[in-house]
């Protein structure tokens, strides 16, 4: 009998600090009504800068996932950590969570995935492959973000800064031979031609490739640093950039395509889905996808209203909340889908 991968346990963690749209009104020229109309977001969570980081939130979610799976954290034999906001530029947050879970001495491997909004689906697919191959039996997959550390909280950056929030979600993957359980199919895609349309370019190692006015290099026997320059600071290039209209147009096309791909690959139709959990990018995008696929309200789960866009953490947080509220039950057909920077997008179909 063939081996599939099941989600044996799931958990999430969000900071206590709630930031409402009205709080942001005090920092920039925006309004609660404007934000809700364009994104659906009413509030988000921000990490405590003194005590919470991407890895610590991921660790808390991981502990809950392990408990839900009925295992001790010492049983975890591999870690996959998806984030765009790692604690450090390097190393990644995977090894930090490994250390915080007390797994460093045993040498448990830790892999970091940097696929932004699609990070969790990519990480889940990698974990699925590891489990089905027989290489690992308890794979921890974490999606966690601390967006609040790198946003421009001024009117200049409002189009982006009002969207994002902090949090973490995690799952434990295990092998199963049950016929009607586990991950059925995955589909991953990318289009690097669109890389700069949703990006956080500076600081970076691109040596001025994206800034033709700057000539870095050796000068008088001295090599000029390009990691951080005054020009980057003056022109606010150290904050994320998003071509919102372009991203929306691309997302509403690729979301339905990849969802249909995994559904058809497993021999199903959209009407067979018990629950679609899309990456919580924008409520308008989710509603457009729902309408395109002709899904009922009870077939789609959204929680962006409470948490904003938590990027790689959004799907596991939503899946965890859906399970807690009874929206996910044994035997349900669940579709997870994401689209984001890269551009990258993907979907997974599973039987809970």
Tell me how far CA of residue 129 lies from CA of 4, 66, 256, in angstroms: 9, 20, 24
Q: Is 309 annotated as catalytic?
A: yes
Q: Is 206 annotated as catalytic?
A: no
Sign of the dihedral defined by the CA atoms of residues 293, 296, 299, 305, in that order: positive
Catalytic option among 21, 303, 309, 335: 309
Name which of 86, 267, 76 is nearest 172 in CA terms. Answer: 76
Contact present, 97 and 79 (Cβ < 8 Å): yes
Beta carbons within 10 angstroms of residue 109's beta carbon = 16
Catalytic option among 12, 115, 202, 279: 279
Q: Which two tokens stand for residue 240?
A: 């994320």
Identify the bridge partners of residue 166 per DSSP, sorted by sequence position: 146
Cis link prior to 244 (omega < 30° from 0)? no
Alpha-carbon distance 107 to 242, whole Å? 39
Catalytic option among 12, 21, 117, 147: 117
Q: Is 264 annotated as catalytic?
A: no
Query: CA gyration radius for the chain?
Result: 20
Q: Give catalytic residues, as residue numbers.
A: 117, 279, 309
């Amino acid at each position: 009998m063939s081996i599939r991968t099941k989600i044996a346990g799931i958990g999430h963690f969000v900071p206590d600090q709630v930031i409402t749209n009205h709080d942001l009104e005090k920092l920039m020229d925006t309004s609660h009504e404007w934000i809700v109309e364009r994104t659906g977001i009413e509030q988000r969570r921000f990490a405590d800068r003194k005590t919470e980081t991407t890895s610590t939130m991921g660790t808390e979610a991981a502990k809950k996932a392990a408990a839900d799976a009925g295992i001790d954290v010492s049983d975890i034999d591999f870690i996959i950590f998806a984030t765009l906001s790692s604690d450090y530029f390097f190393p990644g947050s995977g090894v930090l969570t490994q250390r915080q879970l007390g797994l460093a001495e045993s040498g448990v491997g830790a892999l970091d995935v940097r696929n932004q909004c699609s990070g969790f689906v990519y990480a889940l697919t990698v974990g699925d492959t590891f489990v089905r191959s027989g290489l690992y039996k308890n794979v921890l997959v974490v999606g966690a973000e601390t967006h609040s550390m790198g946003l421009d909280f001024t009117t200049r950056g409002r189009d982006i800064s009002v969207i994002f929030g902090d949090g973490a979600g995690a799952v434990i993957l295990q092998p199963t031979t049950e016929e009607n359980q586990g991950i059925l199919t995955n589909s991953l895609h990318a289009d690097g031609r669109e890389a700069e349309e949703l990006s956080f370019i500076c600081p970076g190692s691109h040596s001025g490739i994206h800034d033709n006015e700057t000539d870095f290099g050796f000068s008088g026997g001295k090599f000029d640093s390009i990691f951080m320059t005054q020009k980057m600071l003056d022109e606010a290039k150290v904050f994320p950039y998003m071509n919102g209209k372009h991203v929306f147009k691309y997302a509403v096309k690729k979301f339905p395509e990849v969802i249909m791909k995994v559904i058809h690959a497993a021999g199903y139709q959209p009407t067979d889905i018990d629950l679609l959990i899309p990456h919580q990018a924008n409520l308008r995008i989710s509603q457009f996808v729902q309408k395109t696929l002709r899904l009922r309200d009870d077939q789609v789960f959204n929680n962006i209203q409470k948490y904003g866009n938590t990027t790689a953490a959004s799907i596991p947080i939503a899946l965890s909340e859906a399970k807690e509220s009874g929206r996910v039950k044994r035997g349900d057909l669940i579709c997870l889908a994401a689209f984001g920077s890269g551009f990258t997008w993907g979907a997974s179909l599973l039987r809970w």
